[in-house]
Structure 1
């Protein structure tokens, strides 16, 4: 069979013999990303704390009849991104089995809570609600998972990522940190302070790691994603038996309108995640970027950027 044209989608985005890790890959956006990479040929390790969720997703979404004849595979690997020993153990297992890592997607994230009152309730009520928020279970956990863990997970996998250039792909290793548009806005999205602040930190950590890891002695690409709303356990509250999430479109539109956003009519789709992920993964000319993928949410609120 003739080789595909070098500018065809198959040539541009083929990931045969690539190895990837997607944290929080058992559900939601992480699962969408894992499916994208595997469908295009990669061996994808999905990580998380819930072994049963990972195994179910690998079985249901990693099968050849789901991914295609020329696809890679999805493999479950338990790893807690907030536990350094767990991270170290997972990196050692992949190093022993694979010897290199082409792609690391730091996707795991949490949303904890927001104050029970609103600014419209006045200074006493809103101040009391803000002060009542938990420090450890809310603020510290948000920063630990959303902003700190990408730093430590990347550090543990860095030697394997540096070896990607010698893998069959012959491209430098790449890190994608999945942040959020919440980290770019001045508007608090109904006062979700801890989440938004942690995502702003995640974006800044991404920029700083991109700078340091581009050093010629390391040569690893780092880019970020600032996502809007996509169906996940975080945005819808649950997953179905296939570990995928659904949502009510009209309720979602009403929620956005409560924040002054009227032109975004739906959440994003797996297809829209996929096209961006494949570009970030395969384009060796993208270094240190933060890609906004939000259906125009931030465009509605330019004064909040």
Structure 2
């Protein structure tokens, strides 16, 4: 039996990358995992990979409250409440202070902040005793990477929410913690670094496409490489399980020492 046998989990942004790896890991520990994301084809592939007996896909955008309602209606219909929530979905793109637009700020904060707030709020009636809520922050909340200000600020907000919500929900026996991944090799990373090299990015000449960008990122990591999604998933599984029963309001860095050394 796994550490989460018989439990119910929700993973937002569960179709690819860190979300998919976390869904696979939680299911391997025995949980039935509800995954959501905007791309239905990716969700279908994820369910096939995990197994339909262990995963249910509900397509949707966390920035749309109606989509969140549909997600939690599906969880409610299963009749077992919710034991693990990994609020993982997010979006990122580059823009300097000079180039930031209203649309850029609204998109980043609409998904990363507003979407996360209502992902957790709408889950509250379903959370079982001793449930675990895990928020996906980022090491970028701690550094000053140029042209990444809106994203970094949105992830700093996530870290702050983890502390506040841990305090608010502790009397229900619900633990809230955050993880802060470093540079992780995912399709999302490819998409972000691909934007560097477009006319919209002032320091585009610094990066010559995804392969070079990844090599440059790796140079900044003490372990000498960027991380894997399954390594972040292991941290999620730890925070989801009773192994972390005395961990509350914490921020677990999974960054190869990038922001630690």
TM-score by length of 1: 0.74
- Deviation string, structure 1 residues 28-54 (Cα, Å, up to 9, x no partner): 000010010011111011101211110
2:16 paired residue among 27, 35, 52: 27
For the residues of structure 1 that align with 2:249 and 2:222, how far apart are their CA atoms? 29
Deviation (angstroms), 1:271: 4.0
Deviation (angstroms), 1:255: 3.8
Tell me, yes or no, if structure 1 residue 208 matches structure 2 residue 175: no
The answer as to whether partners of 2:134 and 2:179 remain within 8 angstroms in 1 is: yes
Deviation (angstroms), 1:133: 2.2
Q: What residue in structure 2 maps to residue 179 of structure 1?
A: 137
Tell me, yes or no, if structure 1 residue 53 matches structure 2 residue 42: yes
1:75 paired residue among 52, 56, 59: 56
Q: What residue in structure 2 maps to residue 124 of structure 1?
A: none
Q: What residue in structure 2 maps to residue 146 of structure 1?
A: 112
For the residues of structure 2 that align with 1:33 and 1:174, how far apart are their CA atoms? 14
For the residues of structure 2 that align with 1:150 and 1:295, how far apart are their CA atoms? 26
* Structure (1/2) with the larger strand percentage: 2
| Structure 1 runs of 4+ with >3 Å offset | none
- Deviation string, structure 1 residues 227-251 (Cα, Å, up to 9, x no partner): 101122221229xxxxxxxx74x65
The answer as to whether partners of 2:13 and 2:90 remain within 8 angstroms in 1 is: yes
Structure 1: 5+ residue stretches without partners? 1-9, 65-71, 116-129, 166-171, 239-246, 301-305
For the residues of structure 2 that align with 1:85 and 1:63, how far apart are their CA atoms? 27
Pair 1:256–1:190, CA change in 2 (3 A): farther
For the residues of structure 2 that align with 1:39 and 1:99, how far apart are their CA atoms? 19
Q: What residue in structure 2 maps to residue 237 of structure 1?
A: 191
Q: What residue in structure 2 maps to residue 244 of structure 1?
A: none
For the residues of structure 2 that align with 1:196 and 1:134, how far apart are their CA atoms? 16
- Deviation string, structure 1 residues 85-105 (Cα, Å, up to 9, x no partner): 211222122112233000000
SS in structure 1 opposite 2:43?
helix
The answer as to whether partners of 1:178 and 1:225 remain within 8 angstroms in 2 is: yes
Tell me, yes or no, if structure 1 residue 252 matches structure 2 residue 230: no
Q: What residue in structure 2 maps to residue 227 of structure 1?
A: 181
Deviation (angstroms), 1:263: 2.8
For the residues of structure 2 that align with 1:45 and 1:262, how far apart are their CA atoms? 33
Pair 1:54–1:212, CA change in 2 (3 A): same
* Structure showing greater Rg: 1
Deviation (angstroms), 1:181: 0.7
- Deviation string, structure 1 residues 144-180 (Cα, Å, up to 9, x no partner): 211222211111111111xx23xxxxxx111000110
Deviates more, 1:263-272 or 1:227-236: 263-272
SS in structure 1 opposite 2:157?
helix
Deviation (angstroms), 1:112: 2.2
The answer as to whether partners of 1:253 and 1:262 remain within 8 angstroms in 2 is: no
For the residues of structure 2 that align with 1:73 and 1:220, how far apart are their CA atoms? 23
1:266 paired residue among 185, 201, 225: 225
2:70 paired residue among 74, 83, 89: 89
Q: What residue in structure 2 maps to residue 18 of structure 1?
A: 7
- Deviation string, structure 1 residues 108-151 (Cα, Å, up to 9, x no partner): 01002223xxxxxxxxxxxxxx3332212x11211121122221
Deviation (angstroms), 1:270: 3.9
Tell me, yes or no, if structure 1 residue 131 matches structure 2 residue 98: yes
